[in-house]
Amino acid sequence: MSKVPVIAIDGPSGAGKGAVAQALAEKLNYHLLDSGAVYRAAGLHAMENGADLTDEASVVASLESMRATFIPHADGVKVYLAGIDVTGKLRSEATAEAASQVAVMARVRAALLDEQRSFRTQPGLIADGRDMGSVVFPDACVKVYLSASAEVRAARRAKQLKEKGMEVTISSLMKDISARDERDCSREHSPLVASQDALQIDSSSMSIEEVVEQILLAVAKTGSISVACS
């Protein structure tokens, strides 16, 4: 039986991965994995359960009681922890920080692997994150590394957060984004890197549609997925 096709999209936060992944999933009628939401759920759960976010054993122990549900939604994914909708909380900067802290821990990453791989079901999966092509789905048929300048990413993040009613300044976001980039890229386990076989796209001056178009062209070239979509 042939494997379920995966398109892996990795890159730093604010590069547009979420919107691109969502648009691709809609076009191809594929499932969607927002792996950042999985790490955010883990960070939030650990925080709310009083785990010490600097202590790996404490965070891993807290994950044993995590009951997370991810429901696809028009705006991305709705996330529930023990049946409670935490989608709004998940997008806060405090949760992003907690996610980035627990994401450096090898045992946390290992504990979240099965959860992420369980999204791989027919007819296919669009997976977005930091290590989708390098670690979680190394056999993905198309790998994309999507980046954008730090200024553009901070401006996009500010717009997203403002739309959700959160007040932020670009300068504080720039600082937070740079600190998280540094941690995501320099950590020992599954650091954010562009796989050698990844198509690299800088979305700084591109629209979501242009990025999607470029990825669909790459998909068509592989011939591994029939792109019979509009």
Q: Is 198 in the site for ligand DC (CB under 6 A)?
A: no
> Nearest to ligand DC by Cβ — which residue?
36
Nearer to ligand DC, 130 or 143 (CB): 130
- Nearest-10 crossing angle of helices 35-48, 93-102: 100
* Closest by Cα among 186, 133, 178, 136 to 157: 178
Nearer to ligand DC, 73 or 221 (CB): 73
d(CA 70, CA 41): 10
Instruction: Identify whether the C-beta of residue 209 lies closer than 8 Å to the C-beta of residue 217.
Output: no
What letter represents residue 83's amino acid?
A: G
Indicate whether 131 belongs to the interface with ligand DC (CB under 6 A): yes
Among 99, 142, 154, 225, binds ligand DC (CB under 6 A): 99
Stretch that binds ligand DC, among 63-71, 127-135, 193-201, 216-224 (CB under 6 A): 127-135
Is residue 20 involved in binding ligand DC (CB under 6 A)?
no
| Binding residue count for ligand DC, defined by CB under 6 A | 14
Cα separation of 165 and 220, whole Å?
39
Minimum gap (Å) between residue 80 Cβ and ligand DC: 17
Taking CA atoms, 83 is separated from 39, 96, 152, 175, 204, in Å, by 18, 21, 36, 34, 38
Q: Which is nearer to ligand DC, 39 or 70 (CB)?
A: 39
Identity of the residue, 28 or 42, whose beta carbon is nearer to ligand DC in the bound complex: 42
Interface segment toward ligand DC; rule CB under 6 A; list 22-30, 65-73, 98-106, 167-175: 98-106
Contact 212, 156 (CB under 8 A): no
Is residue 72 helix, strand or coil? Answer: strand
Q: Minimum distance between the CB of residue 189 and ligand DC, rounded to whole angstroms?
A: 9
Binding site for ligand DC (CB under 6 A): 13, 35-36, 39-40, 96, 99-100, 103, 129-131, 180, 184
